[in-house]
Chains A and B, each alone.
Chain A
């Protein structure tokens, strides 16, 4: 009995200590700035699980790094009130249903009216929720599928070149550095966007003197073995191979499968896959003749913010990695619009943004456009860098390319 009372007493003291100490520790651990600054919460739609997670989580980390930079520089000030940025993430589960559910939680449950993301075709699932509640949603990427960015999404803005702009940049790169390439065979992820992108992108290449041979070769979103795709690619007679869209988990294995079949043609992608990732997956012997949209540290004409982001990410995560900066674009541009409009009201921000002609991005000055391509002038086009593995497997910078999506 005595022992039981003693144990009960000890347990009670421990419980009280935990209840008192834990909040104190939590408060000390947080590096929230003191003073009168408030927190500006931005809803962030990110796939934390599923096939899209490896790409999306990298982008979330990039975005978080940008928010740290902005907060260190004093955050955002609206009408004299200082705000520090905070990303409120919800898991989209790599599915359209997951995006809708996550968006509902952010907009309806948490009452957030400024939403970042998602990227790719997932945006079509977020738009109805955001539009119905007049929440400003800034996309990191667009595949031009219905409902992503069009006349039904007046509160939607595309902060990045998207599939079409990226393709344009690589086309310009080919014209400048590989004029001998006159035809390409194209492969892309089978996510439902191919019918909306193929006509536009094919036309751009052909208008610039590069034929696209045959139809695009699609691969599944969860494709693991790219040997069959590589076999199909090899069977097509073209000067070069173009992987239009995919994540690192698609691009690197596809590249490896192509090289393992003895196909030595130039391989380029308008998605992002660092040359180092290509070398890691394919091996040094097979890593050559490759180009992708990928910023690298120390490249000529790198904007200071981009350089800072690359440096911080590399230092923080300890390894060179593929860097997308799509949702980073979204946050950076949104912050500028907030600062310029001096408002947090989504409708005010929408009205202000669509009247702008240019806006700064981590990649340089962006231009507003998209009326002809998307039906709404809510898309930002900005310069893009190209990173290259030459014929000897050496990494070097392929240059900056100006893009404008009409």
Chain B
């Protein structure tokens, strides 16, 4: 029973983080049509920005989180205007730009902070106990923040004018432009939102786990797996796939060795790609 509860809490916390990151990735891909492989590096640098604000400048971790989101959001606007927009329509050049961004961000951390393991202070300390059951307050807070953020994003995309504009561009870029939607402005805002989501995830994971210069590689793979499983253009699919991937990552190592559990998770992705290339809920992918 104790093991089951612990595993369930782990699965929910992990899934929520994965979904936040994947949602940011999908936003950029859906609107800008860019496979932003720098998303993991942005997630990583966000964690370190939060760490520097909290540990270096002594800010409260919540204020640090907010400032990090603003800083990284501004970075997203910069990236969209100067890195992605000029390469619009050229997949190869976009890929090279993303690789360059990854290398710059990772090398910056390696040179300035080094390889020593770091961690953000917990957003909530303590352990909640109920008889033999124990749950870390940090994990619960991570899950709650991620869930709340996802709810806000769903509301924003489905219920606001901005969200409608985002959906219009995702469906038909030219048509949206002809309808008077400012494509560049919406693209910039979407990229900012995507990076902001990565920032939240980076700070939360920096406290939940730890910070490392290459931590973004791991989360990028998870985001790609979720996008593949869910399919392009499906926000609901992101939630479904995120729960699957997070659940597998939290559950399989309990019963199997680490390497086998990861192989099984990847194997599932491969099988889905073979029998349903567009994912569970998606449309055909256009590059």
Contacts and interface: CB of A to CB of B under 8 A. Distances in A.
A186 interface: no
A224 B125 CA distance: 20
Interface in A304-321: 317, 319, 321
A248 interface: yes
Contacts of A285: 125-126
A93 to B, nearest CB: 12
B52 interface: no
Contacts of B209: 224-225, 253
B116 A260 contact: no
A280 interface: yes
Interface in A251-266: 252-253, 260-262
Contact of A262 (B116, B134, B210, B253): B134
Interface in B5-29: 6-7, 10, 14
A260 B218 contact: no
A205 B210 CA distance: 32
A218 interface: yes
A285 B138 CA distance: 13
Given A220-B261, A231-B7, A261-B136, A283 B251 contact: no
Interface string A219-252: 1111111011111101100000000000011001
Interface in B126-141: 126-127, 129, 134, 136, 138-139
A229 B121 CA distance: 22
B143 to A, nearest CB: 12
Nearest to A273: B117
B212 A54 contact: yes
Interface string A49-65: 01101100110000000
A55 B167 CA distance: 46
A225 B14 contact: yes
Contacts of B121: 283
B92 interface: no
A58 B258 CA distance: 25
Nearest to A232: B254
B251 A228 contact: yes
B234 interface: no
A224 B258 contact: no
A274 to B, nearest CB: 10
Contacts of A317: 114
A390 interface: no
Given A228-B7, A228-B251, A220 B258 contact: yes
B3 interface: yes
Contact of A280 (B10, B117, B213, B257): B117
Given A227-B250, A234-B6, A281-B210, A219 B119 contact: no
Contact of A227 (B10, B127, B210, B252): B10
B271 interface: no
A211 interface: no
Contact of A249 (B129, B210, B252): B210
Interface residues of A, number: 38
B2 interface: yes
Given A220-B261, A220-B262, A229-B253, A249 B212 contact: yes
Contacts of A223: 253, 258
Contacts of B232: none
B274 interface: no
B122 interface: yes
B135 to A, nearest CB: 8
A220 B10 contact: no
B249 interface: yes
Given A54-B212, A235-B2, A262 B127 contact: yes
A277 interface: yes
Contacts of A172: none
A281 B126 contact: no
A219 B3 contact: no
Contacts of B134: 260-262
Given A220-B262, A225-B10, A253-B209, A231 B3 contact: yes
Chain A CB within 10 A, most for which of B3, B6, B117, B139: B117
Nearest to A263: B134
Contacts of A58: 115-116
B147 interface: no
Interface string A386-401: 0000000000000000
Contacts of A198: none
Interface in B109-163: 114-119, 121-122, 125-127, 129, 134, 136, 138-139
A354 interface: no
Contacts of B252: 228
Interface in A170-210: 190
Nearest to B253: A228
B119 A281 contact: yes
B6 to A, nearest CB: 5
Contacts of A283: 119, 121-122, 125
Given A253-B210, A262-B127, A234 B258 contact: no
B225 interface: no
A345 B126 CA distance: 60
Contacts of B138: 260
A224 to B, nearest CB: 5
Contacts of A228: 7, 10, 249-254
A260 B136 contact: yes
B215 interface: yes
B114 A190 contact: no
B287 interface: no
27 contacts: A54-B116, A57-B115, A58-B115, A190-B258, A223-B258, A224-B215, A225-B14, A225-B249, A227-B10, A228-B7, A228-B250, A228-B253, A228-B254, A231-B10, A231-B254, A232-B253, A232-B254, A235-B3, A252-B117, A252-B210, A260-B134, A260-B138, A261-B134, A262-B127, A283-B125, A285-B126, A321-B116
Given A50-B214, A58-B116, 4 more contacts: A228-B10, A260-B138, A277-B117, A285-B126
Give the top 6 A-B pairs by smallest Cβ distance, nearest first. Answer: A220-B258, A262-B134, A260-B136, A228-B253, A227-B10, A218-B257
Interface of B: 2-3, 6-7, 10, 14, 114-119, 121-122, 125-127, 129, 134, 136, 138-139, 209-210, 212-215, 218, 249-254, 257-259, 261-262
